[in-house]
Amino acid sequence: MSMIEFHDVQKFYGHFHALHDINLEIDEGETVVLIGPSGSGKSTLVRTVNGLESIQKGKLIVNGHDLSDPKTNLNILRSDVGMVFQHFNLYKNKDVLENIMLAPRIVSHMPEEENKKQALDLLDMVGLRKWAHNMPSQISGGQKQRVAIARTLAMRPKLILYDEPTSALDPEMIDDVLQVMKRVTTESGMTSLIVTHEMGFAKEVANRVIFMDQGRIVEDDDSESFFKQPKTERAQQFLSKIISH
């Protein structure tokens, strides 16, 4: 079953053609990493999947919802699609546990006891249970991002989108966040679409790699083949630059 289908999708910002002829199908349970140079359209593509960016042409179906139809209810779509951003946007005046419990309580009307148990289990999973009653200002950036991941999982999404989740972090925090993402991906079976510059993570965790350049998908291959030998010169250049850094 496919979770995401792009058919000849075009995206414009005014006159700027940001996404060209996007054709892409992602099945349930796949872990897909989106890579490419700065400005190639990775964030834009990911943001179209939960309707944060509209598309101007083509058809985009996500979890059975047609995003090319303006009548589609984005709130219903978003209840199944979680997103983790570069900046974590935790609620500053709520402690870590409350940050995780808020959406299930308000949006899903989850019973309080079940909600609390789930939140504590998620905090265990991201290694932060003992921080449950700390405020966001009292934890590090890496810890905040792990809370943001737990908060996203608390809504039990079918699909999780990550838009450069480690780019705003100090280098020593990155690995802990990547470990959590790896755990979520391998243990949950959830479909994941991940924009990242972390090639080691992409190699280890993704089953598929999409390489974008100038608003187009240039390569779409299984991760092993891609990292062994990208087919296009553009991707080869990109990888050699990134890896030599």
Residues that bind ligand ATP (CB under 6 A): 13, 16, 18, 36, 38-44
Q: What is the smallest separation between the CB atom of 13 and ligand ATP, expressed in angstroms?
A: 3
Q: Which lies closer to ligand ATP via its Cβ, residue 131 or residue 162?
A: 162
Q: Which is nearer to ligand ATP, 39 or 111 (CB)?
A: 39
Q: Which is nearer to ligand ATP, 32 or 153 (CB)?
A: 32
Query: Which C-beta is closer to ligand ATP: that of 120 or that of 168?
Result: 168
Q: How far is the CB of 1 from ligand ATP (least distance, A)?
A: 27
| Three-state helix/strand/coil letters over 89-141 | CCCCCCCHHHHHHHHHHHCCCCCHHHHHHHHHHHHHHCCCHHHCCCCHHHCCH
**Could you tell me the sign of the dihedral formed by the alpha carbons of 195, 196, 197, 198, in that order?**
negative
CB of 171 to ligand ATP, least distance (A): 18
Choice between 16 and 70, CB closer to ligand ATP? 16
Taking the complex as a whole, how short is the minimal distance between the CB of residue 54 and ligand ATP, in angstroms? 11
Nearest distance from residue 122's CB to ligand ATP, in Å? 28
